[in-house]
Amino acid sequence: MRSTFAANCLLPALSTTVEPSRLLHFVGFRDDRYWNAVRVFGIPDMIHRNWDVYTSNDIAPGDVVVHATGEADRLPRSFSSEAEANRRKRRRRQQPTD
């Protein structure tokens, strides 16, 4: 008598198409609005300080982006928040102290 147990336990063939996962991005949250957004949208996959070019490059089609302030269709800034912080530091160092 031949057992059919092995034939019935085979896993179905894996699909060759993989659906990309949708990520949740929070942009610009610095206060209690973060927790309000978590209650509404859930825990974010990525948190970004500012809406800049680097942030926009992290976002794939189908991802959900939640902005703390501003309009959703605004263009990203052309520099990163780290670059802006460095510029401010340089300006402070270059200012003469009287």
pLDDT digits (tens, 9 = 90+) for 46-80: 999 888 888 888 999 999 999 999 887 888 887 66
Residues 50 and 69: their CA atoms lie apart, in Å, by 10
Q: Both ends of the chain: CA-CA distance in Å?
A: 99
Q: Which two tokens stand for residue 8?
A: 């019935």
5 pLDDT exceeds 80?
no
**Banded model confidence at residue 8, pLDDT cuts 50, 70, 90:** very low
Residue 24 C-beta-side C-alpha neighbours within 13 Å: 9
Domain ranges of the chain: 20-92
Are 69 and 50 in contact by the 8 Å Cβ rule? The answer is no
Helices (H), the chain: 5-8, 33-41, 53-58, 81-94
Model's pTM, two decimal places? 0.62
